[in-house]
A and B are shown apart, each in its own frame.
Chain A
Amino acid sequence: MSRIERERITPGTSLTAADLNARYNDYVQVGVINEENTRDGAVDVPHLPADATVLNTAHEAINANDIYHTAFSTVGMTLAGAPTPTEVGRLNLSASPWSVGPNSILRIYGSLQCKGFIENDPNNVTPIHDGMFTIQNYPAATAVNLSLGAHVWIVQLQWDITSAGLTNWVPVPGGSDFQSQFKPNLYGTDVATLQGCAMTQAYWSGAEDWRPGARAAGTTNTTFRGTGWKNVPVTFSHFNPASTYTLYGLRLVVHGVYHPAHTGSTNGLVLDYNFGAWGNARTNPPAFNYSNGSLSAIQMRRY
């Protein structure tokens, strides 16, 4: 019954059963009412089916609800070889996995309360390596080693689209697994492959005491500390995938400590095995502390 266009009956025209039947049967057509028969603005809330826009939603808390950080967890830094991502929280969908097809938009939001921990001075230590450089001290003309800084922990989003047993975690698309050497003997990745990754600084460094008297007395020092508690937001979206996959779970992992590196044509991040332990016994290597957080996902229709 796409728009009915039938000649009007005009005076002098013979009335036949066939013509009458055709006029009424115009309204008996099956499966043809379309946009031509519907007025503008006709579709309202009750006309849409359930899940018209949102197909799935899931939320999961990470760790205890410990906003005071009295019972936080700790992830150690990688001291040699490839990084070992440590899970800090997951969103388990394996009981009712999501089918994410070309018509879908997957949106993921995470938040993690965390901080960097460090005990040893990252500056003026040996050996010189990829994250350090040397300057001349003043007034004594001695060489001083300084850390390049910019050391970071990485909070990374992974998913499992292979097994309901959640044993096949891989980085989300566009993210590296950091299991390759970006530079000789230095594991890391190109900065172009950091999708699903968030970073938080590994330490704080600044001037101690801004009091004029303290400065005059020569006690104003450059000092360092672990960072204070803050939150790291992790967001990721996957739009209109080329083929359908089954999403069994999502998780956040942490690994580090990384610092910037350059290969001549590409910027990247590489592990720094010596960070925070130069010239000192590694009694307490730098670490990543985390407390409560959350991981949420929503799957929507694209059209």
Chain B
Amino acid sequence: MAYAPTAFVAGSTLASQTMRDNDDALRVYLHNGVAAGDLDPTDWIDTRHVQPPKMMVKRNVQTGVTGLAGGMSYRPFERFSFTTYTATGMSRQATVELWEEVPGMAMTLPLAGNATVIYHWHATAFVGPDVTDPSGAATPVIQNPERRVYLAPYFMLFDEDLTASKVDTKSLVEIRQNIDGFRPLSATDHRGGAHLPYHWTGYGQRSGVMIKSFTGTINKPNVIHVGLAHWSLVQRAMLLNWSVSVEVYYT
């Protein structure tokens, strides 16, 4: 609503009511918001005009006008996390996906509207070796010689449980135990181990990116949970260090 004051005419009586009307109209105009046409049509909003982002310490995320940003990292030798089925208390089969969250790699994001979420992750993994039988047979038999640990990002609503459908398996990476399986104990030297120990093919740096768009399909309090999941077919596997970061842009 543009402002249109009553004009005064020279020689006329100055009525206090006219001035009050003009003042009231100006008050309404300024309080209700100026008309779009009154704004300078060029780009003029500067950084200082934008509301500063707020840091949510517990979530390690800052939320601002254009979206959210955050990240976490763990340095080597200070902490590590198992990506092994034994740590989850669950047995496993080679053909049934049992995804579990990797601790410390998830972020909870309160979305203020439709958004594009970009989740970056990086990890250094150590996997196996492992000689146990994924079939659960009483007598261990070496099976699935290229046994793997799968890592893949996931997203879900804050209060949901992780299921296979929430894992973005298109963005998964895998880390093998070794090549050609595991050699059992030798009857002569009483030692066993990986047949062909990997050098840098079997473990090392792994990274990935997941991009998701949320366009009104998220309900409840618009809080989503993104992180990294693992599905391990190896008894002994762990992440030595890792980092995640997230970018969210409102769309």
A residues at B contact (CB < 8 Å):
1-2, 15-18, 20-21, 24-25, 27-35, 38-45, 47-48, 50-54, 57, 59, 61-62, 65, 67-68, 109, 111, 113, 201, 204, 206-214, 223, 225, 227-231, 233, 235, 292-294, 296, 298, 300, 303
* Inter-chain contact B173/A230, CB cutoff 8 Å: yes
Q: Is B161 an interface residue (CB 8 A)?
A: no
With A and B bound together, what is the CA distance between A65 and B97 in angstroms?
13
* Inter-chain contact A27/B5, CB cutoff 8 Å: yes
* Inter-chain contact A16/B10, CB cutoff 8 Å: yes
**CB neighbours of B211 from chain A (8 A):** 57, 59, 109, 296, 298
Nearest 7 CB-CB pairs, A to B?
A213-B189, A24-B5, A294-B170, A17-B8, A34-B40, A231-B173, A17-B10
B146 touches which one: A25, A39, A208, A229 (CB < 8 A)? A229
> How far does the Cβ of A145 sit from chain B's closest Cβ, in whole Å?
22
Map CB proximity to A onto B23-59 as digits: 1 under 8 Å, 0 otherwise: 0001001100010011111111110111110000000
**CB neighbours of B22 from chain A (8 A):** 24
* Inter-chain contact A45/B250, CB cutoff 8 Å: yes
A42 touches which one: B40, B49, B191, B198 (CB < 8 A)? B49
Could you give 25 example pairs across A and B, Cβ below 8 Å? A2-B40, A15-B14, A20-B19, A25-B5, A27-B30, A30-B38, A31-B40, A33-B34, A33-B39, A40-B48, A40-B49, A41-B50, A43-B49, A51-B251, A54-B250, A59-B213, A204-B198, A209-B183, A209-B193, A209-B195, A223-B196, A228-B146, A229-B148, A230-B173, A233-B207
* Inter-chain contact B37/A38, CB cutoff 8 Å: no
> How far does the Cβ of B97 sit from chain A's closest Cβ, in whole Å?
8
Known contacts A21-B8, A231-B173; is A52 also within 8 Å of B195 by CB? no
Map CB proximity to A onto B186-229 as digits: 1 under 8 Å, 0 otherwise: 10110111111111011000111101010000000000000000
Given A17-B12, A213-B191, A235-B209, 17 further pairs, Cβ under 8 A: A17-B9, A21-B5, A25-B5, A32-B40, A34-B39, A34-B40, A35-B44, A43-B49, A48-B65, A57-B251, A62-B170, A109-B209, A111-B209, A211-B189, A225-B196, A294-B171, A296-B209
With A and B bound together, what is the CA distance between A292 and B175 in angstroms?
15
CB closest chain-A residue, reference B199: A206
* Inter-chain contact A31/B10, CB cutoff 8 Å: no
- Which secondary structure characterizes the binding site on chain A? mixed
With A and B bound together, what is the CA distance between A227 and B202 in angstroms?
9
Map CB proximity to A onto B115-128 as digits: 1 under 8 Å, 0 otherwise: 01010000000000
**CB neighbours of B51 from chain A (8 A):** 41-44
With A and B bound together, what is the CA distance between A1 and B44 in angstroms?
14
**CB neighbours of B40 from chain A (8 A):** 2, 31-34
What total of A-B pairs shows CB separation below 8 Å?
195
* Inter-chain contact A229/B209, CB cutoff 8 Å: no
* Inter-chain contact B197/A231, CB cutoff 8 Å: no
Task: Tell me the B1-16 residues at the A interface (CB within 8 Å).
Answer: 2-5, 7-12, 14
With A and B bound together, what is the CA distance between A33 and B33 in angstroms?
12
Residue from A24, A40, A65, A68 having most chain B Cβ neighbours under 10 A: A24
**CB neighbours of A228 from chain B (8 A):** 146, 176, 179, 198, 201-202
B residues at A contact (CB < 8 Å):
2-5, 7-12, 14, 19, 22, 26, 29-30, 34, 37-46, 48-52, 65-67, 95, 112-114, 116, 118, 146, 148, 150, 168-176, 179-180, 183, 186, 188-189, 191-199, 201-202, 206-209, 211, 213, 249-251
* Inter-chain contact A292/B250, CB cutoff 8 Å: no
B250 touches which one: A30, A32, A48, A57 (CB < 8 A)? A48
* Inter-chain contact A34/B44, CB cutoff 8 Å: yes
B37 touches which one: A31, A204, A223, A300 (CB < 8 A)? A31
With A and B bound together, what is the CA distance between A4 and B189 in angstroms?
93
> How far does the Cβ of B73 sit from chain A's closest Cβ, in whole Å?
19
A210 touches which one: B150, B194, B213 (CB < 8 A)? B194
**CB neighbours of B67 from chain A (8 A):** 53
* Inter-chain contact A213/B186, CB cutoff 8 Å: yes
**CB neighbours of A24 from chain B (8 A):** 5, 22, 26
With A and B bound together, what is the CA distance between A30 and B189 in angstroms?
92
A31 touches which one: B38, B113, B169, B213 (CB < 8 A)? B38
Known contacts A34-B44, A211-B192; is A65 also within 8 Å of B9 by CB? no
Residue from A31, A211, A212, A235 having most chain B Cβ neighbours under 10 A: A211
With A and B bound together, what is the CA distance between A61 and B193 in angstroms?
38
> How far does the Cβ of A45 sit from chain B's closest Cβ, in whole Å?
5
> How far does the Cβ of B55 sit from chain A's closest Cβ, in whole Å?
15
**CB neighbours of B45 from chain A (8 A):** 35, 38, 43
Known contacts A33-B38, A212-B191, A229-B146; is A206 also within 8 Å of B196 by CB? yes
